[in-house]
Structures are given as structure tokens and as C-alpha cells.
Amino acid sequence: MRSKSLCLLLTAVLVLTMTIAVLPSTADAETDSDAGFTVIDSSGAEVVFDGPAKHVVTLGAGYTDTVIQLGYKSRIVAVDKYSTYGYTGNEGFVGISDDMSLGSIYSGDEVVVGILQLIGDGFLEAGDAVIMPSLSKSTYPGINSLDETIAEYGCKIVRLNADSYDDVTDVVKTIGRILGDEDNKKVQRLEHMRDYIVETVEEQGLANTAAGIHISSKSKIYNHSILVSMIDIAGGINAGFNPDYTASNSYNSDGAAVLQMSKVRENTVVFVDSGYAGTAAEFRSENNLDCPVVKMGQLDNNISPSAADALWKVASAMYPEAFGVEPPSFDDQPDHTLTYIAVGAVAAIVLAVGAVVYLRR
């Protein structure tokens, strides 16, 4: 009898131990918070939520990537055409299939029709959210008609834009809030990376000793962009800045202009967008550049928690001796410490009770 009791006791402890191994991961994060909250989006609108959105439509690869990295991929019910795995080839987007695409946000009408279909089929309900950029109402009237079209169904529209690294951090924070993520590790990592780089540049007196040029795949040079703000955070100078185009984020240029700009300052690095079909070495050769060239990743100049890695890439390219190869470590995964403690405590109680019963027999 004692042997049988002991076996049952050990089995119970084994089951509890295995429970720890199958705790929720970031691949399917959940929240029990039902508290209401308000977010102010990039259009200035106050969007009131009664609780976290259970389903979302993400109309932009950056929003889609953010939701995925925060651990809520399962809540995505539809995306725009630029957010599918088939279009991006991004391994993180596996499962975001072409049949989830509503088309291009810039055409507008087909997206609106698709969202109405989602509501009609029950995939999008009151309290759920559509996350999209803030676009000109005169240029894109179709997509901007969403407010009137779905308001009666209780779905929320949140428009989020980002023009700088700090804006990206705020957007990732807002999306986390919409999903109920009150302990946003990705935001903490974005802030940690920024602080680390700013402090290192200041401590080592590196400010203004390097420069960067941000150029698109279509030979546009940026006066302002998320990546340009990273050059600034890293203490660099935007060598591509053109005062004749202060009202524009970018201006048309060519390889000859890039070559000339790269020679004005020592320690200049050219950062080329991922849309460029060739390699960094090929860009450097095609434009007869003597300076380093870095080809950026697909979402490096976009809204994404990966902006932290992009910032590190920019800083380490401008100051390789100061930053080296590996970024500072930061655990951006959910903290299950309290859960582990709770499960361990239950296991200990079961073991203690079982031992008493066993000894009394």
C-alpha cells in the first residue's frame, strides 16, 4: 500500500514539474486584465477601450511585426498585403498567410470591404482594434472612411505614426497597451538600448566624431527618418542633410552626390535601405565609395521592437571600437518568476502532505 501511495505522490510532483515546462510563452501571450483605458493616437484622437483587444487587424508590416514580437500573433485576424509571410519572407511572419491579406491600404476600398466582411463573419467584434497609419484624408479618402463605416459595430481604429526612434518606442508601448501588455519588455529593451548608447558616447567623448548618410533604394537621401534619428542618438552627424529641403523628409539624389557627401567628413558611414537589391559591397563599388556601407534590414527604418537592434547596428558601424559586435544583453522575454515560485510552492505542499500521509500509514 505504501508503495502505491508513494507512486501516486511522485506522479503528482512530476505533473506539477511538467506544468512549469508548458507555461505560456511569448508565442501566445495572454492577459487577464479587463480594466478600461484610453490611448491617444497620432491623429490626436482619444480612443477608449473597455479592456484589451481580443482581435486586431494590422495595416502595415511594422504594426504586424510589433504584435508578433509582443507575443500576440494569435490575435491577428487580418493584415495588409505588405504584412504577409509570402510578401516579407520574414520568418517571424510564418502563419500570416496570403488569405489573411485585405489588400493595399493605399487603395482603401478593398480594405474597408474586407474589414466589414470580418465583422459580418464574427472575426472582428466590439472592442477589437484596427491599427493603421494616419494618412491624409484628401489623398486617401477610401481608407479614412473606416471610422464612419465600422463605428456602429464598436470596433476601434488606432492610427499610429513614427518619425523617430523615440516615436517607435511610444508606438510599441501603445500597441502593447491595446493588447493588455502591462509589462512591455520590448519597450524596456528599446529604452535600455538607447540609454546604453547615449551613455557610452558621452563617456567616451564620441559625439560628432562620426557621420552617417541614410539613402533609400531609389537614391533618395533623408533629411529626417527613423534611421536618421538613430544616427543622432548615437552622437553622429547627418552628413546627408540638405538645408534646401528642410520641409521634406527626403530628396532625390544620385551616387555622385553620395560620394561627395561621404568625403566631406571623416568617419562617414552610408546606410542603405533593404530595398536595394544588391549587397553593401556592391553598393559601395557601384558608387565608388571609400567609406563603409551598411545595408539595413527590412524593418530597421520602420515601427518595430527590432529598432533596438537597428540602433545598435548604426552605433557599432560608426564607432566599431566602442561598441564591438555584440549588443548589451537584456532579457526581453516575459518574467514567469512568480509563476515558478507558485508552482514550486504547490509542489512542496503536495510533497509535504503526501509524506505525512505516507508516514502515518
Higher per-residue pLDDT: 337 or 88: 88
Residues near 294 by beta carbon (within 8 Å), at least 6 away in sequence: 269, 270, 271, 272, 280, 313, 314, 317
CATH number among 3.40.50.1980, 2.40.50.40, 3.30.70.1400, 3.40.30.10, domain 27-180? 3.40.50.1980
pLDDT for position 297? 95
pLDDT digits (tens, 9 = 90+) for 290-320: 999 999 999 999 999 999 999 999 999 999 9
State what percent of residues in the chain have pLDDT above 90.
70
The CATH architecture that domain 188-323 belongs to is 3-Layer(aba) Sandwich (3.40)
| Residue ranges covered by each domain of the chain | 2-23+336-360, 27-180, 188-323
Question: Residue with C-alpha cell 538607447?
Answer: 194
Mean per-residue pLDDT over the chain, rounded: 86
Q: Is the pLDDT of residue 11 over 80?
A: no
48's enclosing H/E stretch is: strand 46-49
pLDDT digits (tens, 9 = 90+) for 158-193: 999 999 999 999 999 999 999 999 889 999 999 999
- Cβ atoms < 10 Å from Cβ of 251: 15
Whether the domain at 27-180 and the domain at 188-323 fall into the same CATH topology: yes
Distance CA 56, CA 125 (A): 10
Q: Is the pLDDT of residue 349 over 90?
A: no
Shortest CA distance to 130 belongs to which of 148, 146, 142? 146
Residues near 266 by beta carbon (within 8 Å), at least 6 away in sequence: none
List 269's β-bridge partners, or say none: 212
Q: Is 22 helix (H, G, I), strand (E, B) or coil?
A: coil
Distance CA 213, CA 272 (A): 8
Residue at 217: amino acid letter = S
pLDDT digits (tens, 9 = 90+) for 231-281: 999 999 999 999 999 888 999 998 899 999 999 998 999 999 999 999 999
The H helix count followed by the E strand count for the chain is 13, 12
- Cβ atoms < 10 Å from Cβ of 246: 9
Measuring CA to CA, how many Å separate 332 from each of 47, 165, 187, 206, 308?
28, 18, 9, 28, 11
By the 10 Å C-beta count (0-12 exposed, 13-18 middle, 19+ buried), 80 is classed as buried
Residue at 46: amino acid letter = E
pLDDT category of residue 289 using cuts at 50, 70 and 90: very high
Residues near 131 by beta carbon (within 8 Å), at least 6 away in sequence: 56, 57, 58, 59, 60, 63, 67, 158, 160, 175, 178
